[in-house]
Structure 1
Amino acid sequence: MDRHTDHTSAPPPGCPAHQPAHQGEGVPVPLYGPDFAADPHGFYEELRRYGPAAPIEVAPGVSAKLVTDYAAALRVLQSPKEYGKDSRRWRALNEGRVPMDSPAIPMMAHRPNSLFSDGAEHLRLRQAITDSLSRIDALLLTRHVERVSTYLVEQFGERGEADLLNEYAKLTSLLVFNELFGCPAEIGDQLVTGMSGIFDGVDPERSNQDILESVSALVAHKRRHPGADVTSWLMAHPAGLTDEEMIHQLVLLGGAGSEPTRNLIGNGLLLILSDERYYGGMHGAGLLVEDALDEVMWNDPPLANYGVHYPLYDTELDGVPLAAGEPVVISFAAANTDPALSAMRQRLSKRAHLAWSAGPHACPAKDPAQLISVTAIEKLMNQLPDVELAVPVESLAWRPGIYHRALATLPARFTPLPPTRRPAPDPVQQPGEGQGRHAGRRGGWWSGFLNWWR
């Protein structure tokens, strides 16, 4: 059986869930360490012993219930009158049982954006986002992804080797979202630095400050100089977003767009380069990139466990008791690989997976994200037709963390490209290297790309 569909491995070492049921009942299973990152599907298999929802820890001392059943996940996602998204209902946080420096806080604590709102407020913020994203021109977006891809490949093409995750997938998503936001050079460099740092765990406090400063500066800039970009469209929407609301919607769009897109491109490239069904397709004989991404979304979705909801009152989910204000985390990865679906998955619509979530909080950017990912992979394979993995698949490391399914690196090799004749851009620094909020922006990734394009 293919490695992407064989989830019947033995219980992961040290997993509390493979105690006898009478001993493990109610013991939260930690999902934030390297064991989980190495074999998440082994954990999901054991967690199913608890029923449709299992007790877990999303961070040390921070407990929640993880929904692993497809039908149960849909019920939570589609029942806003029973489960809310506003995390100000989070009882343990309100009672002081979750420290404010917990790594769970950045992903779960309330922010005034559409993700953490319910009811009329959610509808107002959500409509502004969906209407603005609907104005993105697919042809122009495709062309921009192709330009970014060409630029990035030129940076490493002569070497004959590259880390396709950190030198390509990550930067593609960040630079493309800078374009969608209409970022000037200096603001865009700081935003790339902040977004890169926050997800890679590089000085989170400084990274968060870079994000807020750059987005605040972008909002102020677009108030004076509106353009044909998502920021300006949000600003002009009849919802009448304040500057504070603008900042929080843009931070949401940037984070929720760039990190999952990075992982979708990376996981898609891994599947294509390691599975002959797809690798043959790049040379005229196999399945398409779209097929590879659909398989990734079913089996290794880039946002693996999130969609946090809070019961509005004490309730049960198929016999599992849930307390009001208790975090209920949806495992998109476990729900998609629910054994109850195994006999019918091939008959389900390709869009029946839950990788984009479902219900009123389903991802509003799924079409741009899919287009960016498909275009980025196709363009890379066209530029590097003999690209292959530089290490065995089993040696690849996955970044720890409950929320994402994210490679740490994706080393590849290929025939070196001839030197380009374009004028050399400004020296390019890696995100986080000398690009703090007080540093000069010359040499940042976004300004480097803009100079190259000009």
Structure 2
Amino acid sequence: MPPENSRLPYEELRRRWGSVAPVEILPSVTAWLVLDHQAALEVIWNERLFSSDARRWNAGIDPGWAANAPQLVMLGPRPSVSRLDAQEHRRQRHALTGVLDQIDLPRLRRLVQQQADHLVDRWAPRATADLVAEYSRPLTWTVFAHLFGFSPQSIPALEALVDAVTGTADDAAYADAELLEAMCRLVNARVATPGPDLASWLIHATPLTDTEIAHNLVQLLLFGATSTVNWVGNALRLLLSDSLVSSSVATGRLTPSDVLDRTLMDDPPAPNIAGRWATEDIMFAGHAVRAGDLLIPCLAAANNDPAILGGRAVHTSGRAHLAWGTGAHGCPAKDMARLIAETAVDVALRRLGEPRLDTPGSATVSRQSLWCSGPAELPVAFTPVHPEHRTEAPPELPDVLPVPERTRTGGAEEGETTQRWGWWNSMTGW
């Protein structure tokens, strides 16, 4: 597989291999990269042939190897909704979506808008800003920490851990274990003292065990926070770098929501789905796939499959993307993520007037790995804006969930402790 700091030569792979290409993630670690839209749909939808459970992997992973393979941490098994199949998956997904449905979306929109306006107020008078470091990152992380039940003081540590795991840093395995430990502490605290947050609702209003809750919170943070930061960053980069898109927004042919969909199609914040495993020996797209082989649906390639692009014009949004996944394993929090991203882009458009990229040659530095893709920075210059009522203190964060009644429906057995767990510890059981 080409280096992570370059775009994969999808067309070259298609010409040589067809819809599915054999790739090497690491020396002697192979996978099938699924390139075409229809083939990706088949892998995502067909749970009978393609499992989400990494315990099926035939790679023969051992603890020493895994600890030195940061690219693989996101692929490991977990007792969470994204890594289970059949009845266990449905049980956890029903519990998770039931809690997410309790979020007051109008209040969440007001929360995001207040925080976005506050961030703009801080740097608008100086006429320059980094829209990643000073806008999309702090905005997204403030919202996610509040939703989860973490204090603002916890954000820098959580952000660093998630960046290490999704960016495949050398210490990704350690960061993954530390992130789980942080969720364990949160769960233990909310068992005794519920709050107006997702952790409390998962504990006191679902039958999930404490271990399952901790792992699902890890997954929501890994996939949700980073993807939302990158989604906002990619959308703003598109608006700043493509005059045809920005003029289409200015004339009303595109809405901010359309721009976000266009970004998911052309530059998805999560370029690859973190793994499916063949359940039996099959012929797939002309290739002999063995039971336990890893398949990686490549969203960045599938979304740009010539078979579905046709004559799509620049002023169309393009909603054939697979950025949310699809089927039973589609993203359970996509409505929440879209609300955050739409509000962030809308506030930026409303407040900044006509910003321009403030980089040589309008080039931007990207942060890319197998699992995330977005601008590492997005420096802009614009006409200074002086807020009428600027305050240094951030606005108080409104609750978007009530405090659950303390009537735990099941989950943890009395005396259960949430275990610190590294994915490489077990490929055959939890």
Contact 1:190 1:211 in 2 (8 A): no
Deviation, structure 1 residue 308 = 0.9
Q: Do the aligned partners of residues 93 and 394 (structure 1) sit closer, same or farther apart at CA in structure 2, a change above 3 Å counting?
A: farther
Between the aligned partners of 2:248 and 2:323, the Cα distance in structure 1 is: 24
CA contact (8 A) 1:51 1:320 kept: no
Match of 1:252 among 205, 208, 219: 219
Aligned mates of 2:152, 2:299 — CA distance in 1: 36
Offset at residue 202 of structure 1 (A): 8.7
Given the superposition, is the C-alpha separation of residues 116 and 339 from structure 1 closer, same or farther in structure 2, using an over 3 Å criterion? Answer: same
State the Cα RMSD in Å: 2.8
2:282 to 315, 339, 343: 315
Q: 1:393 to 1:341 in 2, by over 3 A?
A: farther
Shift of 1:358: 1.3
**2:136 matches 1:169:** yes
* RCO comparison, higher one (Cα < 8 Å, 6+): 2
- Alpha-carbon displacement from aligned partner over 1:115-147 (angstroms, at most 9, x marks no partner): 111121111111111111112222111111112
C-alpha deviations, 1:87-107, integer Å up to 9, x for none?
111111347895432012321
Contact kept in structure 1, 2:357 and 2:379, CA below 8 Å: yes
Specify which of 361, 372, 397 is matched with residue 365 of structure 2.
397
Find the aligned partners of 2:70 and 2:153 in 1 and give their Cα distance: 29
CA distance in 1, matches of 2:395, 2:317: 40
**CA–CA distance in 2 between the matches of 1:131 and 1:180?**
15
What is the DSSP-based 3-state SS (H/G/I as helix, E as strand, rest coil) of the residue aligned with 2:374?
coil
2:2 to 31, 43, 55: 31
1:258-292 Cα offsets, whole Å, 9 max, x none, are: 01111110110011112223323564555211111
Match of 1:195 among 142, 157, 162: 162
Contact 2:105 2:336 in 1 (8 A): yes
Q: Which residue of 1 aligns with 2:347?
A: 379
Identify the residue that residue 225 of structure 1 maps to in structure 2. 193
SS, match of residue 406 in structure 1: strand
Match of 1:3 in 2: none
Out of 300, 306, 310, the position equivalent to 1:339 is 306
2:117 equivalent to 1:146: no
- Against the structure 1 CA distance between its residues 33 and 94, is the aligned structure 2 distance closer, same or farther, given a 3 Å change threshold? closer
Q: Residue 354 of structure 1 aligns to a residue in which SS?
A: coil
Q: 2:424 matched to which residue of 1?
A: none
Give 1:156 deviation, angstroms: 2.6
What residue is the counterpart of 1:47 in the other structure? 13
1:89 to 49, 52, 56: 56
Instruction: Tell me the CA shift for residue 236 of structure 1.
Output: 2.6
The normalised TM-score by structure 1 is 0.79
Q: Deviations over 1:190-247 (max 9, x none)?
A: 4344335544549646644553343223212222232332222222334x12221111
Return closer, same or farther for 1:284/1:157 CA change in 2, 3 Å cut-off: same
8 Å Cα contact 2:70-2:170 kept in structure 1: no
* 2:254 corresponds to: 287
Counterpart of 2:375 in structure 1 is 407
CA contact (8 A) 1:332 1:354 kept: yes
Query: Paired residue for 1:112?
Result: 79
Structure 2 unaligned segments of length 5 or more: list them: 399-430
State the number of aligned residues. Answer: 395
Q: Per the alignment, in what secondary structure is the counterpart of residue 275 of structure 2?
A: strand
CA contact (8 A) 2:187 2:214 kept: yes
Percent identity over the alignment? 35
Q: TM-score, normalised by structure 2?
A: 0.83
Rounded to whole Å, the distance in 1 between the matches of 2:152 and 2:72 is 31
Question: CA separation of 1:74/1:205 partners in 2, compared to 1, >3 Å: closer, same or farther?
Answer: closer
Q: Is the 8 A contact 2:20 2:33 kept in 1?
A: yes
- Amino acid across the alignment from 1:375: T
In the TM superposition, residue 58 of structure 1 has moved relative to its aligned partner by: 2.7
1:349 Cα deviation from its structure 2 partner: 9.5
8 A Cα contact 2:52 2:84, kept in partner: yes
Among 335, 354, 358, which residue is 2:326 paired with? 358
- How far the C-alpha of 1:387 sits from its partner, in A, is 1.7
- The alpha-carbon deviation at position 249 of structure 1 amounts to 0.7
For 1:300 and 1:267, locate their aligned partners in 2 and report how far apart those are by CA, in whole Å: 7
Instruction: State the match for 1:80 in structure 2.
Output: 47
Query: SS of the residue aligned with 1:92?
Result: coil
Matches of 2:23 and 2:321, distance apart in 1: 23
Q: 1:151 to 1:203 in 2, by over 3 A?
A: farther
Report the counterpart of residue 268 of structure 1 in structure 2: 235
Whether contact under 8 Å (2:118, 2:395) holds in the other structure is no
Counterpart contact for 2:275–2:294, Cα < 8 Å: yes
Task: Kindly provide the amino acid, as one letter, of the partner of residue 371 in structure 2.
Answer: Y
Q: Return the alpha-carbon distance in structure 2 between the equivalents of residues 211 and 150 of structure 1.
A: 30
More displaced 10-residue stretch of structure 1: 349-358 or 68-77: 349-358
Q: Distance in 1 between matches of 2:172 and 2:61?
A: 23
Q: Which secondary structure state, in structure 1, belongs to the residue aligned with residue 70 of structure 2?
A: coil
Can you give the 5+ residue segments of structure 1 that lack an aligned partner in the other structure? 1-29, 426-448
Query: What is the letter of the counterpart of residue 32 of structure 1?
Result: P
Letter paired with 2:335: D
- Distance in 2 of aligned mates of 1:243 and 1:356: 27
Please report how far the alpha carbon of residue 402 of structure 1 lies from its aligned counterpart in structure 2 after TM superposition: 2.1
